[in-house]
Structure 1
Amino acid sequence: MNIEVPTEAPPQRKVKVHRTGLDYAALWAVIGLFAIAGIAVLNLASFILIPLTFAVVVGLILGLAADRLGAMGIPSVLTAAILSGLFVGIVILLVSIIAGPLNMLIKNAPEMIEKTLQFLESISWLERPVQSLMRGPGSADNVMEHTGTILSTLATGVMPALLQIMIFAGSLMLFLSSRMTLRRAMIRVFTNRPRRLAAIRMINQVEAVLGYYFATAIAIYSSFGLIAALIAWIGGLGSPLLWGVASFILSFVPFLGIATVTVAIAIAGLMVHETMFYGLLPAIAFFLVNAVYENLLIPSVMGRKLEMNSYMLFVAIVFWTWLWGAVGAMLAVPLTVICMTLLGNFFPPGTPKPNLPD
């Protein structure tokens, strides 16, 4: 009787795949094609994606407040209605504050443009460029002749803007009311316990960082808006509320927003005052206050929790502005914060090793 003794299977050797430069080039080409396709989809579907993304970002920012109201026993639907109504009410209040001064500014725009061109023409080295501009298609007379066309073009964009606002309001309320359901669904996608705990930690960290950024930004930029309104009032620019609210809103767009307000204050000062020194003095004061805020106050308050590379932040602002316009510029910083938080969880930094000499 022969008894077969089971023998162990020989260990399998791992075959090392040798990739050539062409293989790596093909991999990067596929990644590049997917990136281009993703950017194209974001651009083509911007009409729907802009209000939806804005609603999700605002919903994440209001997540901590929703948790506080939920802990008080308030139903999720009522919590969503309260927070959505509060946010929309604040936006309407800001718009109503700047509506009057902005309407007056639009009415006086031709006179302001004419005064600005006359002032620039008085500068010798700008005389020829200004004269060519006044005679060209962008002159004030041509703009006034085509005012009806310009207003009709703006009117055609009112209905799509109102539709986007409705999509945003509905998305924000539905996201806040079903936030915990969506959260549980995202966590249940993962199968084992460690990954679910990592997902919970990641979601909590995103909401905490966004809430901290938004609360800190509101406090800092509100004081900055008050200082801008004070500078406009002392500098005789008129409509201090307009300058204060504009500075507060545009401060959420680093670099580009403050640069826009500074240039506008400089132009307004040159139109109000006769000499260049007194005309540029409000803009210089605004620029110095912004420098103190950006280099001393904001880094000390926000600290390393929201430390971002300035160049990468500027690239993100330019990219989202090019892709989604003004709303993209407002969303650039929150989206960058979300991406940095997610990358920090996926690729946690290792223990730093000292670079000692040999």
Structure 2
Amino acid sequence: MAEDTARRLQARPIPVPKAAPPASTQTTLLVIALVVATLYLGSDILVPIALAVLLTFVLAPIVSRLERLRLGRIPSVLAVVVLVFAGIAGFGMVVGGQIADLANNLPSYQQNVHAKLDSLRSRATSAGSGGVVQQATEAFRDLKQGLEQVTGDTPPAATAPASALPAPGAAREPVPVRIEQDGSDALTIISDVLGPAMAPVATAGMVLVFTIFMLLQREDLRDRLIRLAGSGDLSRTTEAMNDAGERVSRYLLMQCVVNVTYGLPIGVGLWLIGVPNPLLWGLLSTVLRFIPFLGPAIAAAFPILLSFAVDGGWTLPLLCIALFVAVELFSNNVVEPWLYGSATGLSSLAIIVAAVFWTTLWGPVGLLLATPLTVCLVVLGRHVPQLHFLEVMLGDRPVLPDEAKLYQRLLARDPIEAMEIAEEKMSKGGLVEAGHGLLIPTLSLAEQDRQRNRLNPEGRQAVAEGMVALLDEMMESSPPAAEDTPLVLCIGARNDLDEAAAALLGHMLRPRGLRADVIPCEKVSVRSIAALAPTGVSAVVLSYLNPSALSHARRLVRRLRLHFGPNVPILLCLWSAHPEAEAPEHAISQTAADRVATSLTGAVTQLEELGVLAAVEAEKAPQA
């Protein structure tokens, strides 16, 4: 009985779970809207959690190192957290002391401020007749009066009836005043006064608690995140988590280094030029630079205003402005590119958009967290196929290969940008590298679109003509070959795209001393081939971007054999064929061509083996 039951269970087909249908666009937009609404409405809880996660990324390596020293998990976490918050408290005390010292000295700077304001006011009033400010004020007053006369509007006092005005000398009636005592109690007053001050303290306390528990249970949290993300694909989930942690930690470390290298020269420079409290401004410059875009501007505004108040002239403010500009330029153009590299993986536009988005949701704290949170989104887009659009929109990786960009520029008839793409590729490896890695792949993309009926004749003509013009521009310095050198006919076999590929090979052959003539497919048709001279040709090269057009190639090879004779070698170039496949041998057997090449260097090598280039060397030897 048990054996029969087991046999029936084995014979029963195991149901295969169906794949979930892809989410529609409306569903995706609805999910995004719900996520954004949740982030906005739950900011009171989510902001402390996000700050705690950020601190956990920073402190986890330190805690792990202390644990390796056998200090224990709980003592290591408590020691690190106490040191961090003690450092924050010490920083606050130093800044508070500097601010108190600055507040005590501010009254002594009032005389300089009044003197500069009086100087500016006197200069403004002495410029021109009556002064610029006075002239502008009178002009606006006259304009206002003219508008009132045109529209008929007069001030309310002028239109008031005489009966409404009090008689001269008449006593005014007393206005009754009633004093009502507010019924609020002491608790309400305390909450109104201390409420705004207690909110940051409460947030800091929540961040402290969350950070401690995240550091204590980071392995358990990691396992739960893996379970939520899907334990069936541990490799991808682990890679995504490691990538996010590494990028965020590296970004924060590099940000700390950059901020220190920015704040230290600012503090030393302000001390050298004589701005009061340079320690305060150096510390604020270091901390405020964590806030993108606005932080450096805020850090520079206060010492510049203070230098305006301290110095009776204009030398100190100008020196202060020059110091901030010089340090900012050095940090942005030297220090940050050197240290950051690809630390974040975000594009410049993505950083700006992320700053605006997170600031709108969470205020100043969102501006502080904008870059780390967006880094995590980009990592998710890189490892989760459904969120790949995040990496495309926010990442710094090129979203299109060079051949696709060049193809699009040729379709758009933009020769300038197309030339820039080609020159960048050519500068790395010359024409051969540009032809292999850029030009032939670009023409292959166009040929594939043509075969799928996605490229109309106008677009095909634009790509072919643009490619030929691009080649002429790139090779304008190469001298033309002599008339007595061997002639190679490079034939575009089926269309103008094949002709553009043949032109590329012709440009590569001319510097080697060959005379390469590029002719279109119409000239080798049955009716037109008789117009070609049957003598004086050393070799014929057929250019095909479609490697499967072997039947057409067989007919064309037969026609060329009859016209040029059996002594003229024919090289068949199948540009899109894989060089390691059996395409060359199969193509030779199907078309009866002498040789087959699948690359530019392969075509040059085949011509050398056919003896065409050897004839050029033999002609050069007697002249030498």
Give runs of aligned pairs for residues 1-358 of structure 1, distance below 5 A.
Answer: 27-28=25-26, 31-106=28-103, 119-120=116-117, 122-124=119-121, 155-189=194-228, 193=232, 195-346=233-384, 347=388, 352-354=401-403, 355=406, 356=439, 358=443
Query: 2 CA distance for matches of 1:330 and 1:189?
Result: 27
Judged with a 3 Å threshold, the aligned counterparts in structure 2 of structure 1 residues 241 and 155 are, in CA distance, closer, same or farther, namely farther
Which shows bigger deviation, 301-310 or 31-40? 31-40
**Contact conserved, 2:116 with 2:312, CA < 8 A, in 1?**
no
Which amino acid in the other structure matches residue 89 of structure 1?
A: A
Distance (Å, rounded) in 1 between the aligned partners of 2:210 and 2:288: 24
Q: Higher mean Cα deviation, 286-295 or 330-339?
A: 330-339
Worse-superposed segment, 116-125 or 44-53: 116-125
> Aligned equivalents of 1:105 and 1:35: distance in 2?
48
User: Residues 282 and 62 (structure 1 numbering): CA distance in 2 closer, same or farther, change over 3 Å?
Assistant: same
- Match for 1:179: what amino acid? R
**Any gaps of 5 or more consecutive residues in structure 2?**
1-20, 126-131, 138-190, 392-396, 407-438, 444-624
Query: For residues 235 and 211 of structure 1, what CA distance do their matches in structure 2 show?
Result: 36
1:58 alignment partner AA: L
Deviation at 1:326, TM superposition (A): 2.5
- Mapped contact 1:263–1:283 kept (Cα < 8 A): no
1:294-353, CA deviations, whole angstroms, 9 ceiling, x for partnerless residues?
111111112123343223212222332333232222212221222222223334878945
Instruction: Kindly provide the CA deviation profile for residues 56-85 of structure 1, in whole angstroms up to 9, marking residues without a partner as x.
Output: 111122222233333344433223212222
CA distance in 1: counterparts of 2:318 and 2:192, whole angstroms? 34
What's the offset of the Cα at 1:244?
Answer: 0.9
Distance across 2 between alignment mates of 1:39 and 1:188: 24
Relative to 1, partners in 2 of residues 1:104 and 1:156: Cα closer, same or farther, differing over 3 Å?
A: farther
Taking structure 1 as reference, are residues 155 and 44 closer, same or farther at Cα in structure 2, changes over 3 Å only? same
Alignment partner, residue 139 of structure 1: none
Deviations 1:133-161 (A, max 9, x none): xxxxxxxxxxxxxxxxxxx9774312222
Measure the CA separation in 2 of the matches of 1:262 and 1:154. 32
- What root-mean-square deviation, in Å, do the aligned CA atoms of Structure 1 and Structure 2 show? 3.3
Q: Distance in 2 between matches of 1:192 and 1:49?
A: 26
In structure 1, what is the Cα distance between the partners aligned to 2:247 and 2:299? Answer: 28
Please give the alpha-carbon distance, in whole angstroms, between the structure 2 residues aligned to 1:312 and 1:114. Answer: 47
Question: Conserved in 2, the CA contact under 8 Å of 1:321 and 1:328?
Answer: yes
Q: 1:75 to 1:314 in 2, by over 3 A?
A: same
Matched AA of 1:57 = L
Asked if structure 2 preserves the Cα contact closer than 8 Å seen for 1:253 and 1:329, the reply is: yes
Distance 1:190 1:242, change over 3 A: closer
* Partner Cα distance (2:379, 2:110) in 1: 46
Q: Deviations over 1:282-301 (max 9, x none)?
A: 12211211111111111111
Deviation at 1:100, TM superposition (A): 0.8
Letter in 2 for 1:76: R
CA contact (8 A) 2:110 2:309 kept: no
Q: Secondary structure at the match of 1:306?
A: coil
Counterparts in 2 of 1:109 and 1:317: CA distance versus 1, 3 Å? farther
- C-alpha distance in 2 between matches for 1:339 and 1:321: 16
- Contact 1:116-1:271 at 8 Å conserved across structures: yes
Deviation at 1:106, TM superposition (A): 4.7
Give the letter for the 2:289 counterpart: S
Residues 305/269 of structure 1: CA separation in 2 closer, same or farther (3 Å cut): same
298 and 155 in structure 1: CA distance in 2 versus 1, 3 angstrom threshold: same
Deviates further, 342-351 or 111-120: 111-120
In 2, Cα distance between equivalents of 1:320 and 1:154:
29
Deviation at 1:247, TM superposition (A): 0.5
The residue type paired with residue 220 of structure 2 is T
Query: More strand per residue: 1 or 2?
Result: 2
For 1:174 and 1:253, the matched residues in 2 are separated by: 27
1:253–1:333 contact (8 Å) kept in structure 2 = no
Deviation at 1:31, TM superposition (A): 4.5
User: In the superposition, relative to structure 1, how do residues 341 and 64 fare at CA in structure 2: closer, same or farther (>3 Å)?
Assistant: farther
- Residue 6 of structure 1 is matched in structure 2 by none
Letter in structure 1 aligned against 2:98: P
Q: Which structure is larger by alpha-carbon Rg, 1 or 2?
A: 2
| Alignment CA distance shift 1:41-1:184 (3 Å) | closer
Unaligned runs of 5+ in 1: 1-16, 18-22, 133-151
The range that moved more, 200-209 or 152-161, is 152-161
Deviation at 1:170, TM superposition (A): 0.6
* TM-score, length basis structure 2: 0.45
Task: Return the offset for 1:219.
Answer: 2.2
Q: Is the CA contact (8 Å cut-off) linking 1:61 and 1:207 kept in structure 2?
A: no
Per-residue CA deviations over 1:84-112 (Å, capped at 9, x if unaligned) read 22221221121111011123445666886
Corresponding residue for residue 143 of structure 1: none
Deviation at 1:248, TM superposition (A): 0.5
Q: Structure 1 residues 299 and 153 mapped into 2: Cα distance closer, same or farther (>3 Å)? A: farther
Deviations 1:14-52 (A, max 9, x none): xxx9xxxxx98xx34x55454444334333332222212
Q: Which is worse superposed, 335-344 or 38-47?
A: 38-47
CA contact (8 A) 1:316 1:332 kept: yes
Question: How far has the Cα of 1:266 moved from its partner?
Answer: 2.0
Question: Identity percentage over the alignment?
Answer: 24
